[in-house]
Amino acid sequence: MTFAVHGLPVARGIAIGRAVLVVSSRIDVAHYFIKPEEIETEIDRVRTARNAVADELTKLQASVAQMGPNDAPHELAALLEVHQMLLQDEALSGGVKHWVSDRLYNAEWALTTQLEVIARQFDEMEDPYLRERKADLEQVVERMLHRMKGTAAVLAPSPPRRKRAAASHDQDDEDHDPTAGDGFDVPLVLIAHDLSPADMLQFKKSVFAGFVTDVGGRTSHTAIVARSMDIPAIVGARSASQLVRQDDWVIIDGEAGVMIVDPSPIILAEYGFKQRQGDLERGRLARLRHKPAVTLDGQRVELLANIEMPEDTAGAVKAGAVGVGLFRSEFLFMGRENSARQTRLPDEEEQYQAYTRAVEGMQGMPVTIRTIDVGADKPLDGKSASKQEHLNPALGLRAIRWSLADPAMFLTQLRAILRAAAHGEIHLLIPMLAHASEIRQTLSLIDFARAELDSRGAVYGPLKLGAMIEIPAAALTLKTFLKHFDFLSIGTNDLIQYTLAIDRADEAVAHLYDPAHPAVLKLVADTITECRRQGKGVSVCGEMAGDVAFTRLLLGLGLRSFSMHPSRILAVKQEVLRADTGKLEPWAKGVLDADDPAAALAG
């Protein structure tokens, strides 16, 4: 039956493919793809865990048998017998083999996926007793997962797409299969309750054509990384992961924020047409790649790229970026837990190599590196997030506050960035500053890092220093900031969040997240005006920079430097090429003065 699930659109385009569910578990489960030659190893890991749990249950059964009726009720022995039966059920082991062999899932992912498949079958049973056996199955699987913990295989690079296994699907599905009989690989779309930034990085170069999550907001970091992957994505879809089954055909409409499940042939044909139209539009925009971003009245505009990893520079150059306006260095620190659940941060040499690769990847163009910005929706690991559940992490120890609280870690990063600056032009960007005392501490540590390198005789280069304006307090005390920094970068994502008191990762209040709010626009406009008055550089690096609905307004306010996801550069460039800033300036002032700026923007 065809039905639709609505959420928040965060990355445009159409994706059509089979659903891959990342199933939640009460213990942490790794999700990654393996290499084809590792299939037997992963299956053997599951088999070993199953045998170990079976032995464990056998010992428990033997001990129960020796107990008296007052010590061990009859129900306990029966329960252990049920667990043994579930453990040996071919539906469990056979299904796991299928996910490992056909989809190249790692053992844990395959096990939780098959658990979800069987659990749904239990939910549909009419007999209440049988329905309740789902809990027993979950307990058995969790026993196996605990046994497998710490024995994960090495994370493999992106796998090849898997051919559709026709025998594993109902014949009815063939009628809905847009790739049936054409020999092409089947696109896969990812469905999850939530994905951490570290999860997103693991999937970044994988086979997925799109993804949907139950939670999240338009500017949550899951959404931001989705846009950097340039694939259709929806967040805040509430119950998507409960409504979709493994291998369902789904359509993701990233423009409308709608996921269509089990689409009819007519709907498939309609969205297939839209998908082809989108491809044609991208082809037209590609012709602008080498055209300078100059307005009709001769104003040159700088279009920069936001990146997460050094390897992203290839996409930035390909999109026509003239530099990196925001390198989110925290992604180098994420997803680094070992089997003992310990997080090993990258040392100075590893960071230096990463920053140097980014500089070299941009082929002489400038790279702006933001110092580590963790906290809120970007914990370094799962423990960081859970420990702060009762607090408001967006207002807690994050970004520069985190760095100043751990000077040794901060100095390591600063030394690595300074050394990389010997290889090309690097601008250093400090996030979330609000107090003059924080500015003084930061500048002092930068000087101390230089002194440490001098004492070692290490080679390092010059840095331009910049600060992010993402807290209203910073936007209201610009003169203090401009005394100490060469440039400012407006982080509109957090600036909107803090100005409007909206958690940008919370889908429940997403409708209140308003980039066109008069207060937000005034803070942005005042920052641009003051920087231009003092001859200091200013850019916008938040999501507003890549939103073509705001390009004309920002140009009219005097902005000449935009930093965005590489996938948005050509669309924004098209707007720039059509703009006349002389005509836009009075119009932009009218938008600022309007009671309803959003309506003025649209009109």
Instruction: List binding-site positions for Mg(2+).
Output: 470, 494
Instruction: List binding-site positions for phosphoenolpyruvate.
Output: 328, 370, 493-494, 504
Residue 368 bridge partners (DSSP): 427
Residues 6+ apart with CB under 8 A from 110: 42, 46, 95, 96, 97, 98, 99, 100, 103
**193 counts as catalytic:** no
Instruction: List binding-site positions.
Output: 328, 370, 470, 493-494, 504
Q: In what order do the strands lie in the sheet with 188-192?
A: 3-6, 258-261, 249-253, 14-22, 188-192, 208-213, 233-235, 8-11
* Rounded Cα gap, residues 164 and 156, in angstroms: 22
The one catalytic residue among 83, 193, 427, 541? 541
* Rounded Cα gap, residues 20 and 386, in angstroms: 26
Question: With 90 as the cut, is the pLDDT of residue 467 above it?
Answer: yes
Whole-number pLDDT of residue 181: 40
Average pLDDT over residues 579-594: 96
List, for residues 338-369, the tens digit of each pLDDT value.
Answer: 444 456 789 999 999 999 999 999 999 999 99
Lowest mean pLDDT among 71-75, 510-514, 572-576: 71-75
Q: What domains lie within the chain, and their CATH numbers?
A: 3-22+173-282 (3.50.30.10), 36-148 (1.10.274.10), 293-602 (3.20.20.60)
List, for residues 392-429, the tens digit of each pLDDT value.
Answer: 767 888 899 999 999 999 999 999 999 999 999 999 99
Beta carbons of 90 and 15 less than 8 angstroms apart: no
DSSP reduced 3-state for 206: coil
The one catalytic residue among 31, 221, 427, 565? 221
Q: What is the mean pLDDT of the chain?
A: 85
Residue with tokens 């707007």: 575
Q: How far is CA 592 from CA 199, 513, 522, 575, in A?
A: 39, 18, 7, 20
List, for residues 357-401, the tens digit of each pLDDT value.
Answer: 999 999 999 999 999 998 655 566 544 444 444 467 678 888 999
Strand 487-490 to 537-540 pairing: parallel
Q: Show the DSSP H helices in 67-196 as ranges.
A: 74-88, 90-103, 107-123, 128-148, 171-176
**221 counts as catalytic:** yes
Whole-number pLDDT of residue 343: 60
* Rounded Cα gap, residues 213 and 525, in angstroms: 34
* Rounded Cα gap, residues 15 and 22, in angstroms: 18
In percent, how much of the chain has pLDDT > 90? 56
Average pLDDT over residues 470-498: 96
Two tokens, residue 4: 């639709």
Helices 74-88 and 90-103 pack at an angle, to 10 degrees, of 30
Question: With 90 as the cut, is the pLDDT of residue 490 above it?
Answer: yes
Strand 258-261 to 249-253 pairing: antiparallel
Residue with tokens 């939640």: 24
Average pLDDT over residues 237-260: 91
The H or E element that residue 8 is part of is: strand 8-11
